[in-house]
């Protein structure tokens, strides 16, 4: 079955630590990839997206993600996290055949001072 997998459900990091959140998908064909973030008490919002071109995409607040087609992966990274990065992070995939954003279950990130 087609799916989006986020490997880490809960991550706890200290400030200044590096972050990598895994995301794998099982859809064939052309896909468009997204990372969304939900800060406490706020709406779900786009962090970054990949449509085509350079597989390394940069988003807001120093986040970046790398699309590795051969691994069906789109991992999210940040070299140095801040307390304000505490949030829920969702990976999502959209195929060219539909309108749906197919989400992973999310990763809860807690950054401690």
Partner 1 sequence: SQTIHQWPATLVQPVGSPLSLECTVEGTSNPNLYWYRQAAGRGLQLLFYSVGIGQISSEVPQNLSASRPQDRQFILSSKKLLLSDSGFYLCAWSEGLSRQADEQYFGPGTRLTVT
Number of residues that bind partner 1 (CB under 8 A): 22
Which parts of 62-91 interact with partner 1 (CB under 8 A)?
90
Indicate the pairing of strand 87-95 with strand 102-103. Answer: antiparallel
Measured CA to CA, the distance from residue 91 to residue 22 in angstroms comes to: 9
CB of 81 to partner 1, least distance (A): 23
The alpha carbons of the chain give a radius of gyration, in whole angstroms, of: 13
Find all residues with CB under 8 Å of 83, minimum gap 6, and list them. Answer: 15, 111, 112, 113
CB of 33 to partner 1, least distance (A): 9
CB of 80 to partner 1, least distance (A): 26
Which residues bind to partner 1, rule: CB under 8 A? Answer: 4, 32, 34, 36, 43-46, 49, 51, 90, 92, 94, 96, 99-106
């Amino acid at each position: 079955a087609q799916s989006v997998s986020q490997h880490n459900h809960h991550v706890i990091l200290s400030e200044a630590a590096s972050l990598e959140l895994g995301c794998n998908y099982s859809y064939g064909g052309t896909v468009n990839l997204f990372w969304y973030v939900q800060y406490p008490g706020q709406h779900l919002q786009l962090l970054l997206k990949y449509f085509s071109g350079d597989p390394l995409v940069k988003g807001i607040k120093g986040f970046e993600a790398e699309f590795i087609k051969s691994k069906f992966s789109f991992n999210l990274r940040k070299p140095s996290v801040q307390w304000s990065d505490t949030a829920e992070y969702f990976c999502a995939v959209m195929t060219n055949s539909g309108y749906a954003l197919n989400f992973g279950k999310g990763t809860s990130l807690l950054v401690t001072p």
